[in-house]
C-alpha cells in the first residue's frame, strides 16, 4: 500500500485531484492499495490535516470552519479520487480518527477535576465547575446525514477551561463515571487522554453514532479498509466491537491497521493485538525503530539482528511494515527519519520479503519540500529527496518476490535472502544482498529451477551478470553501503 500524503501536503485543495491523476500510474508500478488522509472537516478548516476532527460527516460539502473544501479538496473531488483508485484495480483505505473532537460550537458548564499530566490517575483538585467547549451542533450542516449532538456526556476529558482560560488535563464528571477508560498502555498512569474533547466510549449513544457514521461513510465512499489513528489512546473494546459491526454491515473482511506507535516496545503491540483478538493489524513501530537505529549506526549496527524483536517476526500476518510516515518525517512529533543512504536498504527489507504488508511513504516516492519550526523555534527548511530506485523496488515485489524464502542473516555487515519464485508468476524469483559496510557478497541458494539462468541487478548499481549453478546456488554481490536485487536477466 501507499500512504498518499505527508504532514506538509499543500493546503491548496489539490490532493484529491492529484490522486485521481496518478491512480493508473500507481497501479502500473505495483501499488495495490491507497491510504488517504482523513477526508472530513477539521477544526482548522482548509488548513486542517484532518486529525483535529470537527465533523466526520463533512467531506468537503458544507461551509464550516471557514471553508467548504478540506485541505485536500471537495467532497465531489474526494469521491472522484476514490472512484479512480477502484477503477485502477487498487483498494482504498480511509483514515479514521475516533479519539477526539476539536472546535466545538458551544460551551457548557461542566464539573471537572484536574489531574497530574504525568500521572493522569492522580487528581490534583477537588471537583469544580468550568465552562468548556464540549457541545458540537454543526450548524453549517443543519442536521443533514445525522442530527446527533455531541455534549459533555460524550467526552471523558478536556484540556481547556474557556471561562478562566486555564489549560491542563481535566476529567469530566458524567453519568458514566469519573476518570479514564481502560487502555493497554500505562504510560502517564493512563494514556486515554490525548487532545481536545476526548471521546467517551462508555456512552452507548456514542458507540451507536459511530456505527451509524461508519455505515454512512461506507455507503457514500465504498472503501475497502481502515487506517485507525491513535489506537493506544482508545479502549480496545470499542474497535473490537466497531470492526465486527462494519464487517457485518459490508459483508466484507474490511482490512484494518491501527497506529499504535511504541518504538522498541514489541510487548505493547502484542498486548494490544491480544486485547483486540487479532481483529486488526498494527504498524510495525518496532521494526521502524530498528531501521532508524541501523540508519544512524552505519557499519557499527549489526544487520543480522535487524528483524529481532519486531512485529513482523512475532506476528507476520498482522504487521504493516514502514520505513517512514507523516509522524516520523523531519520536524514532526515522533521525528525519526532514516538517512538517505539507508532508505533503499530499508525498502528492500520491507518490500521483498515474504512476511509483512509494506507501506510506502508518499514523500519517499515523490519527494517533499517544506518549512516549519524546529524544536528550538527556528525556521527550518526541509528537502526530502525521492528514494533512488524505489519505483523499481515496488515493481520488483510485484514481479519477482514470490515462492520459498531462504535467509542468510549471518554477518553483522552483510545480509541477504532469496525468493525462489513460483509457477504462477513467470520470471519470478530474486536474490537480495545488502551491506552497511564494504562491498558484500553472499553464497545463496535460489533453487534448481533457476539453474543456468543469468541474473542482473535491477537497481542498476551492479553491472555484471551472475549465473546460477546447476545446484541452484550463486555468489550474489552488492556495493558498499547499498543493496542489490538480482532477478532473471
For cell 478540506, the residue is: 70
DSSP state of 474: E
Residue-wise burial string across 190-207, b where 16 or more C-beta atoms lie within 10 A, e elsewhere:
bbbbebbbbbbbbbeebb
Given 52, 58, 229, 284, the catalytic residue: 229
State the Cα–Cα distance between residues 293 and 387, nearest whole angstrom: 19
Radius of gyration (Cα) for the chain, nearest Å? 24
Beta strand residue intervals within 50-127, DSSP E: 53-55, 91-96, 100-101, 106-116, 119-123
Residue 259 annotated to the active site: yes
- In terms of Cβ atoms closer than 10 Å to its own Cβ (0-12, 13-18, 19+), residue 58 is buried
State the Cα–Cα distance between residues 109 and 163, nearest whole angstrom: 9
- In terms of Cβ atoms closer than 10 Å to its own Cβ (0-12, 13-18, 19+), residue 66 is exposed
58: alpha, beta or left, given left = phi > 0 and alpha = psi -120 to 50?
beta
Cβ-based neighbours of 396, under 8 Å, separated by 6 or more:
351, 352, 430, 458, 485, 487
Q: Give SS3 for 215.
A: helix
State the Cα–Cα distance between residues 151 and 107, nearest whole angstrom: 9
- In terms of Cβ atoms closer than 10 Å to its own Cβ (0-12, 13-18, 19+), residue 164 is exposed
Whether 125 contacts 170, CB under 8 Å: no
Annotated binding-site residue? 290: no
Annotated binding-site residue? 413: no
Annotated binding-site residue? 326: no
Residue 205 annotated to the active site: no
Q: For residue 349, what is its C-alpha cell? A: 527489507
> Across-strand partners of 260?
none
DSSP state of 150: B
Given 61, 77, 259, 364, the catalytic residue: 259
172: alpha, beta or left, given left = phi > 0 and alpha = psi -120 to 50?
beta
Q: Specify the DSSP element, H or E, that contains 249.
A: helix 236-250
381: alpha, beta or left, given left = phi > 0 and alpha = psi -120 to 50?
beta
> Across-strand partners of 128?
112
3-state helix, strand, coil in the chain (%, to 5): 30, 30, 45
For cell 515493481, the residue is: 395
Q: For residue 194, what is its C-alpha cell? A: 490525548
Annotated binding-site residue? 391: no
Q: Single out the residue of 422, 486, 419, 413 nearest to residue 455, CA to CA.
A: 486
Annotated binding site for Ca(2+): 99, 192, 198, 233
Annotated binding site: 99, 192, 198, 233
Residues annotated as part of the active site: 229, 259
Amino acid at each position: 500500500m501507499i500512504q498518499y500524503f505527508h504532514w506538509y501536503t499543500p493546503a491548496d485543495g489539490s490532493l484529491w485531484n492529484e490522486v485521481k491523476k496518478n491512480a493508473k500510474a500507481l497501479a502500473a508500478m505495483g501499488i495495490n492499495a491507497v491510504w488517504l488522509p482523513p477526508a472530513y472537516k477539521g477544526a482548522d478548516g482548509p488548513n486542517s490535516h484532518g486529525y483535529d476532527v470537527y465533523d466526520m460527516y463533512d467531506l468537503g460539502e458544507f461551509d464550516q470552519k471557514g471553508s467548504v473544501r478540506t485541505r485536500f479538496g471537495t467532497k465531489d473531488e474526494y469521491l472522484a479520487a476514490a472512484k479512480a483508485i477502484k477503477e485502477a484495480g487498487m483498494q482504498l483505505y480511509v483514515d479514521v480518527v475516533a479519539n477526539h473532537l476539536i472546535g466545538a460550537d458551544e460551551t457548557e458548564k461542566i464539573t471537572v477535576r484536574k489531574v497530574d499530566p504525568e500521572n493522569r490517575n492522580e487528581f490534583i483538585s477537588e471537583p469544580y465547575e468550568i465552562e468548556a467547549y464540549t457541545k458540537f451542533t454543526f450548524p453549517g450542516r443543519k442536521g443533514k446525514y445525522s442530527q446527533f449532538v455531541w455534549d459533555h456526556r460524550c467526552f471523558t476529558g478536556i484540556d481547556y477551561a474557556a471561562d478562566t482560560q486555564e489549560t491542563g488535563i481535566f476529567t469530566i464528571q458524567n453519568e458514566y463515571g469519573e476518570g479514564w477508560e481502560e487502555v493497554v498502555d500505562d504510560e502517564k498512569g493512563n494514556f486515554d487522554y490525548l487532545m481536545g474533547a476526548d471521546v467517551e466510549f462508555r456512552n452507548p449513544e456514542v458507540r451507536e453514532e459511530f456505527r451509524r457514521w461508519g455505515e454512512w461513510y461506507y455507503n457514500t465512499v465504498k472503501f475497502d479498509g481502515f487506517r485507525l489513528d491513535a489506537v493506544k489512546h482508545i479502549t480496545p473494546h470499542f474497535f473490537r466491537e466497531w470492526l465486527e459491526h462494519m464487517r457485518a454491515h459490508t459483508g466484507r473482511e474490511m482490512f484494518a491497521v491501527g497506529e499504535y506507535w511504541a518504538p522498541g516496545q514489541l510487548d505493547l503491540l502484542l498486548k494490544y493485538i491480544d486485547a483486540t483478538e487479532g481483529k486488526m493489524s498494527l504498524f510495525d513501530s518496532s521494526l521502524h525503530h530498528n531501521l532508524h537505529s541501523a540508519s544512524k549506526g552505519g557499519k557499527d549496527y549489526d544487520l543480522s539482528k535487524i528483524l529481532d524483536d519486531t512485529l513482523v517476526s512475532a506476528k507476520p500476518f498482522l504487521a504493516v511494515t514502514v520505513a517512514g510516515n507523516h509522524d516520523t518525517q523531519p520536524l514532526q512529533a515522533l521525528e525519526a527519519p532514516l538517512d538517505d543512504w539507508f532508505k533503499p536498504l530499508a525498502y528492500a527489507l520491507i518490500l521483498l520479503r515474504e512476511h509483512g504488508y509494506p507501506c510506502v511513504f508518499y514523500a519517499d516516492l515523490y519527494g517533499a519540500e517544506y518549512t516549519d519550526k524546529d524544536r528550538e523555534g527556528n525556521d527550518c527548511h526541509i528537502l526530502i529527496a525521492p528514494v533512488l530506485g524505489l519505483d523499481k523496488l515496488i515493481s520488483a515485489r510485484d514481479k519477482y518476490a514470490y515462492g520459498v524464502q531462504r535467509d542468510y542473516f549471518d554477518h553483522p555487515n552483510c545480509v541477504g535472502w532469496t525468493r525462489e519464485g513460483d509457477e504462477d508468476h513467470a520470471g519470478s524469483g530474486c536474490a537480495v544482498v545488502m551491506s552497511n559496510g564494504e562491498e558484500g557478497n553472499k553464497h545463496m541458494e535460489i533453487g534448481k529451477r533457476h539453474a543456468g539462468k543469468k541474473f542482473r541487478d535491477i537497481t542498476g548499481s551492479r553491472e555484471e551478470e551472475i549465473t546460477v549453478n546447476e545446484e541452484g546456488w550463486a555468489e550474489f554481490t552488492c556495493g558498499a553501503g547499498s543493496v542489490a536485487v538480482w532477478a532473471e536477466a
